Structure 1
Amino acid sequence: MWTIPNIITMLRVVLIPVFVVVYFLDWKWAHQAGAFIFWLAAITDWFDGYLARKLKQSTAFGAFLDPVADKLIVAAALIMITHTYASVWITVPAILLMSREVYVSALREWMGQHGKSDIVAVSFIGKAKTMAQMLALIGLLSELDYFMGFPIYWVVLGKLLLYFAAVLSVWSMVTYTIAAWKNLTKEDMNKQL
């Protein structure tokens, strides 16, 4: 259990309350510091997976904890941006993204229980959604439109990426559902339920 990748994943879980507290501190740069912590957590997500493969330290615990850590910090960030912006234009895509995560996690768990997890394995659309979502959240959390006097339009880009991630999110949810549909509607499985 105490492998380097697992320790990095656990660090990401520990960063969640730190991220939330820092974001809401009464500092001028609190939101930017919170966005940096979120970015750091996102980097550790890539890094722990890379190390697990490179060092051949993949474990069942790591395979369980890694997606949980991702979903927890992303859910926290989505809730925080809905609070910060208090706008239906941010809240609706945030709810779509969170709903998709719950739905796809439940679908993957169900398919895994029936030995069909490969049917709903992470796809390119899912990876693109994750990348767009992470960049959107960093931009929206940071609230930076200018850096050192230069326009960078992070918030505008963040809003566009949030909508792009929401579209990819729904698309991937539909794709996974179609892929799993035959297994979800099997008569013998329905009798078991």
Structure 2
Amino acid sequence: MNTPNKLTIARIIMIPFFVAFLMYDITGSADKWIALAIFVIASLTDTLDGYLARKYHLVTNFGKFMDPLADKLLVCSALICFTATGQLAAWITIIIIAREFIISGFRLIAA
């Protein structure tokens, strides 16, 4: 398994920790900042794995499938958490997630 794929898996592993710190009172007032840090780190791993995969020609079928899925899981989990805590209207979350499913469907058909 190459480094970009390991970064993608690491991003998927970060998602439950992000959700836990965002939704539950674990450390007190620092929870939201820790969740933000996890989200930023996960986002940076997305940038890094794409860069490494293209620069060193490490593009794999696993990466082509899992990288966009990991991105969608991260963003959708954040939207769902914000909706659950009342910080975001449910209709906004529904529209964004529906759009993600539609785009993914189009990509599947095109492939």
TM-score, normalised via structure 1 length:
0.54
Write the distance in 2 (CA, Å) between the matches of 1:29 and 1:83: 19
**1:131-184: CA deviations, max 9, x gaps?**
xxxxxxxxxxxxxxxxxxxxxxxxxxxxxxxxxxxxxxxxxxxxxxxxxxxxxx
SS in 1 for 2:85: helix
Partner SS for 1:104: helix
Higher relative CO (Cα under 8 Å, sequence separation at least 6) belongs to 2
**Displacement over 2 Å in runs of 4+:** none
**Residue 36 of structure 2 corresponds to residue 35 of structure 1:** yes
Asked if the contact 2:23–2:81 (Cα under 8 Å) also holds between the matched residues in 1, the reply is no
Would you say 1:82 and 2:98 are equivalent positions? no
Larger-gyration structure (1/2): 1
- Percent of residue pairs identical: 39
Matches of 1:86 and 1:39 in 2, distance apart?
19
Aligned equivalents of 2:84, 2:32: Cα separation in 1? 12
Q: For structure 2, which runs of at least 5 residues remain unmatched after alignment?
A: none
1: CA distance between counterparts of 2:3 and 2:35?
25
Q: Tell me how large the CA RMSD over aligned residues is.
A: 1.3
User: Separation in 2 of the partners of 1:73 and 1:13?
Assistant: 8
Letter in 1 for 2:23: F
SS at match of 1:85: coil
Amino acid at match of 2:18: F
| Counterpart Cα distance in 2 of 1:75 and 1:7 | 21
How do residues 1-193 of structure 1 correspond to structure 2 at under 5 angstroms?
Answer: 2-26=1-25, 27-85=28-86, 90-112=89-111
Q: TM-score, normalised by structure 2?
A: 0.90
